[in-house]
Chains A and B, each alone.
Chain A
Amino acid sequence: MRIVASILLACLSLALVAEPVAAQTTLKVVMHSGLRVVDPVLTTAYITRNHGYMIYDTLFAQDETFKIQPQMVKSWSVSPDKLTYTFTLRDGLRWHDGQPVTSEDCIASITRWGSRDSMGQKLMDYTKELKPVDQKTFQLVLKSPYGLVLESLGKPSSNVPFMMPKRFAATPGDKGLTPADQIGSGPFKFVQAEFQPGIKALYVKNPDYQPRSEQASWASGGKVVRVDRVEWVNMPDHQTAVNALIAGEIDYMEAPPHDLYPVLEKAPGVKMQVINKLGSQGMLRFNHLHPPFSNPKIRQAVALAVNQEDYMKAWITNARYRRTCWAMFVCNTPLATDAGSDDLMRGNIEKAKALLKEAGYDGTTVVLMHPTDVYTIATYPLVTAQALRRIGMNVEVQAMDWQTLVGRRAKQEPVAQGGWNMFHTNWVAQDIMNPIANAGVNAKGAKGGWFGWPADPQIEDLRDQFARETDTAKQKKLAADIQKRAYEIHAYLPLGEYVVAVAYRDALVGVLDGPAPFLWNIEKKK
Chain B
Amino acid sequence: MRLYAFIAKRLLATIPVMGVVAVVVFLMLRLAPGDPAAVLAGDVASPEDVKRIRIALGLNQPIHTQFVIWIGRLFRGDLGTSIISNVPVTQMIQQRLEPTLALATTTILFAVVVAVPLGVLAAWWQGTWVDRAVMAFSVIGFSVPVFVLGYLYIFSFAINLRWLPVQGYVSVSQGLGPFLHRLILPTLTLSVLYIALIARITRASVLEVLGEDYIRTAQAKGVRNRRLLIRHALANAAVPIVTVIGLGIALLIGGVVVTESVFNLPGLGRLTVDAVLARDYPIIQGLILIFSGVYVLLNLVIDITYTLLDPRIRY
Contact = CB atoms under 8 A, between A and B. Distances in A.
Interface of A: 4, 11, 14-17, 19-20, 34, 36-39, 42-45, 48, 116, 118, 158, 172, 174-179, 195-200, 233, 235-237, 239-241, 243-244, 246-247, 249, 373, 400-401, 403-404, 406-408, 410, 425, 427, 431, 439, 448-451
Given A14-B177, A37-B85, A241-B264, 5 more contacts: A14-B181, A17-B177, A175-B56, A179-B85, A450-B46
A45 B84 CA distance: 12
A37 B167 contact: no
B261 interface: yes
B86 A179 contact: yes
Contact of B84 (A36, A177, A239, A439): A36
Contacts of A178: 86-87
A15 B184 contact: yes
| A contact face: mostly helix, strand, loop, or mixed | loop
Contacts of B35: 403, 406-407, 410
B159 A36 contact: no
A439 B44 contact: yes
Closest 10 CB pairs of A and B: A44-B42, A17-B177, A197-B85, A407-B35, A44-B44, A45-B42, A199-B266, A43-B42, A174-B52, A407-B34
Contact of B95 (A37, A196, A404): A196
Contacts of B274: 34, 36, 198
B86 A38 contact: yes
A243 B180 contact: no
B43 A11 contact: no
Interface residues on B, range: 35 or more
A432 to B, nearest CB: 9
B33 A236 contact: no
30 contacts: A11-B184, A14-B181, A15-B177, A16-B177, A17-B177, A38-B86, A44-B42, A44-B44, A172-B56, A174-B49, A175-B56, A176-B40, A177-B86, A179-B87, A196-B95, A197-B84, A233-B168, A233-B264, A243-B167, A244-B166, A244-B264, A249-B167, A400-B33, A403-B277, A407-B35, A407-B39, A410-B38, A425-B43, A431-B44, A439-B44
A14 B176 contact: yes
B244 interface: no
A439 B176 contact: no
B19 interface: no
B43 A14 contact: no
A152 to B, nearest CB: 15
A19 B45 contact: no
Contacts of A246: 159
A247 B159 contact: yes
Interface string B161-188: 0101111101000011110110010000
A504 to B, nearest CB: 16
A350 B314 CA distance: 80
Given A19-B178, A233-B168, A45 B43 contact: yes
A176 B92 CA distance: 18
A240 B34 contact: no
B228 interface: no
Interface string B74-97: 000000001011110000100110
Contacts of B40: 37, 42-43, 176
Nearest to B147: A237
B159 A176 contact: no
B270 A236 contact: yes
A172 to B, nearest CB: 7
Nearest to A243: B166
Given A38-B85, A45-B43, A247 B162 contact: yes
Contact of B50 (A179, A236, A240, A410): A410
A336 to B, nearest CB: 21
Contact of B266 (A118, A200, A404, A408): A200
